[in-house]
Amino acid sequence: MGRNAQTPEPLRAHGKPGPQTRGSIITHTAVRAKVHSAKVMDWDGIKTLLQRADMQFPRLKHLWVDAGYRGEDRSKDWVEKKLGWSVDLVERPRKPASKEVLMGWAEQWLHEGVVVDWEKLLPPKGFVVLPRRWVVERSFAWIGHNRRMSKDYERLCASGEAFVYAGMSRLMLRRLARA
């Protein structure tokens, strides 16, 4: 690289240079949102999102989180210890063993007098509907209906967060106007 060469800035989704962002959200019409840099991991982002949530939302006692929050001293563990809430991990069903191993187990059980259909032990193939995941996807779809939130256009995390609140406020106002 030359003397005056600069390292290129990372490209965002629409091809323009700028910071990449991601966020955490407490859904059901975005009660609370936190947009942060993409280098902040999910399990650290949820800690900033929920810092004083037990005082702000005293009736909130249960969270559903995806598999990115699993692990010792990560979000699930942290929420249960710090806030005392129950947390369910929503994750894909794990494959218990390979096809050959399952067939071997079924054959061994057959010698012991137990008939087992090894194919029923396999998780379903292809697309699997995950419980409660639709709530998050629906909320992101509602946010994405707003033109400014359809792509990552914002340079500052604070302005991205403000547009999440603006978009969800717009959604709630439309619903209240219909009622």
Same domain, 86 and 164: yes
Evaluate whether 42 touches 76 at the Cβ level (below 8 Å).
Answer: no
User: Across all residues in the chain, what is the average pLDDT?
Assistant: 76
Mean pLDDT within 73-91: 84
Same domain, 87 and 121: no
**Domain total for the chain?**
2
Same domain, 38 and 69: yes
Same domain, 75 and 140: yes
Q: Does residue 163 belong to any structural domain of this protein?
A: yes
% of the chain at pLDDT higher than 90: 1
Q: Does residue 16 belong to any structural domain of this protein?
A: no
Q: Which domain covers residue 115, as residue numbers?
A: 93-128
pLDDT digits (tens, 9 = 90+) for 100-149: 888 888 888 888 888 877 777 777 777 778 888 888 788 788 888 887 77
Same domain, 161 and 113: no
Name the pLDDT band for 43 (thresholds 50, 70, 90): confident
